[in-house]
Amino acid sequence: MSLPATSVTELFAPVKDDLRTLTANLKELVGARHPILYAAAEHLFEGKGKSLRPALVLLVSRATMTDQDITSRHRRLAEITEMIHTASLVHDDVIDMAELRRGIPTVNSDFGNRIAVLAGDFLFAQASWYLANLDNLEVVKLLSKVITDFAEGEIRQSLTAFDTSLTLEDYLEKSFYKTASLMAGSSKAAGVLSGVTLAQAEQLFNFGKHFGIAFQIVDDILDFTSSTETLGKPAGSDLRQGNLTAPALFALEEMPQLSGLIEREFSEPGDLAQAVALIQSSDGIHRAKDLAKSHIKLAVSAIDWLPASAPKQSLINLAAYVLERLY
């Protein structure tokens, strides 16, 4: 599973040109008619490292079309995936009243809630429309399910804030809805567009699902182990909002005193810092890393059947890179 330190750009190599076209297309598709959205689009589609999701779609597309070039539908699917992801980020930031994402101001903080709600709706709507025009009902169903899952994930997170009875299973389900569903649904959809078998399509779904769950677990670990500078937001942000992630849930098992701090919603001065310190000193981070590793293994084994190719190797390397972010 180990691999030499590398950059994300290198990992995306087989689809580097595709991604450049995609970014240009997205800015045009979204921003062309409305200056107000153009500014938001510039803002949204320019951020570094934001192209993981379309890269996965393009890599799966190329890995399942080894003997021929990918089609315009594969490309459109990658664009739709990024639109849906971006729409969800914009609305997430309104919901969380977030001011920064990856260190740059959010749409709501730069343009206000009004524009942020509209921009998100517009992106979801555009995505649905382009989706319908792919003329493939199975793909429409797969991606519509993803949009429902986003809302489901956010609602669950909202309902279970500061709830120390949350189980690891609840957390994994929520992570699937919030993060992995898009990667699972869009990887499978790319395969469907390539004409893979039903069983292969299911395996592509599993690849995206386990990749996405591992990705979310790693993100949740980084919220405890990284500096504010690296994260682009204060460390412990999830916990402060009552979002109990893998490290916190594992820590709760060994440190019952943690639940008191969480249940009173960090209302006393120093509560949050104390809780973060408890989690950092617990075995929670380590156990969460093991959990992420196990999902990455499942992701990689789900694409075992793919014929050897540069894009397949990129998918495997990307999976390993998810874990490398921790070291």
Interface residues toward a second copy, by CB under 8 A: 34-37, 91, 94-95, 113-115, 117-118, 120-122, 124-126, 128-129, 131-133, 135, 137, 140-141, 144-145, 147-148, 150-152, 154-155, 158-159
195, burial (CB in 10 Å: exposed 0-12, middle 13-18, buried 19+)? exposed
Closer by beta carbon to a second copy, 36 or else 255: 36
CB of 141 to a second copy, least distance (A): 4
Nearest CA to 127 out of 184, 70, 82 is that of 82
CB 150 within 8 A of CB 177: yes
CB of 117 to a second copy, least distance (A): 5
Q: Which pairing describes strands 100-101 and 104-105: parallel, antiparallel, or unpaired?
A: antiparallel
CB of 180 to a second copy, least distance (A): 17
Closer by beta carbon to a second copy, 82 or else 154: 154
CB of 124 to a second copy, least distance (A): 6
CB of 130 to a second copy, least distance (A): 9
Closer by beta carbon to a second copy, 93 or else 219: 93
Closer by beta carbon to a second copy, 23 or else 144: 144
Closer by beta carbon to a second copy, 138 or else 290: 138
Closer by beta carbon to a second copy, 212 or else 284: 212
CB of 242 to a second copy, least distance (A): 13
CB of 106 to a second copy, least distance (A): 14
Closer by beta carbon to a second copy, 88 or else 203: 88
Q: What angle do CA 188, 140, 30 make, to 5 degrees?
A: 100
